[in-house]
Chains A and B, each alone.
Chain A
Amino acid sequence: AQTVTQSQPEMSVQEAETVTLSCTYDTSENNYYLFWYKQPPSRQMILVIRQEAYKQQNATENRFSVNFQKAAKSFSLKISDSQLGDTAMYFCAFMKQRGGATNKLIFGTGTLLAVQP
């Protein structure tokens, strides 16, 4: 069974600073996808960034980038130039790649990020 672990329940960062959120996972699969989702107080989950396990290049999306270490099963999220609107719960998630069988996401417990003015 796959598990996703986020060891930082809460983090705080000053506006314009950089912060890194940690995520580790456990799987015996070789092909899979990893995601970071953001859940602001409005409750709606929003995809931040996605990484395919077969790609060695780390994904980036504007101010958001990941450090994907497949051998270490680590998938951290770096937020640069933090903005007040980045305040939210961040979830790391895992999805198997199994030829169309499922879109099931396995989530970590989340990290509550507070951006301070």
Chain B
Amino acid sequence: KAGVTQTPRYLIKTRGQQVTLSCSPISGHRSVSWYQQTPGQGLQFLFEYFSETQRNKGNFPGRFSGRQFSNSRSEMNVSTLELGDSALYLCASSAGQGPGTEAFFGQGTRLTVV
């Protein structure tokens, strides 16, 4: 069974640009969550999608957005990039609708904003 796949693995963008990151969850998983990991702020929750609906959102500005497709694949978009957006972005998928089910993580996308 394939794991969570995130693409691309590495990305370098210029301030002001926008970026789209992709996450393919484990087959059959309907919940996809996104996290930002930085040395200063640690791991912070961005948002969660379940069956194409956003059901929770973290404290990030509106420049951060996401969506989920009918096949459960998810994308997150960051517009008007800032230097502080440089981070490892992790995606996690879960099988169940209820909380407590194991979250399986991808290897992340390392975004560098210059």
Contacts and interface: CB of A to CB of B under 8 A. Distances in A.
A93 B55 CA distance: 20
What class of interface size applies to chain A in its complex with B? 20 to 34
Contacts of B44: 107
B42 A104 contact: no
Contact of B99 (A33, A91, A107): A33
Given A45-B92, A47-B103, A110-B42, A101 B55 contact: yes
B29 to A, nearest CB: 10
A99 B55 CA distance: 13
Given A101-B55, A101-B56, A46 B105 contact: yes
Contacts of B106: 44
Interface of B: 31, 33, 35, 42-45, 48, 50, 55-56, 58, 88, 90, 92, 94, 97-108
A59 interface: no
A50 B102 contact: yes
Interface of A: 33, 37, 42-47, 50, 52, 91, 95-110
A92 to B, nearest CB: 11
A104 B33 contact: yes
Contact of B105 (A45, A98, A101): A45
A95 B99 CA distance: 7
Contacts of A43: 88, 107-108
B42 A109 contact: yes
A50 B44 CA distance: 20
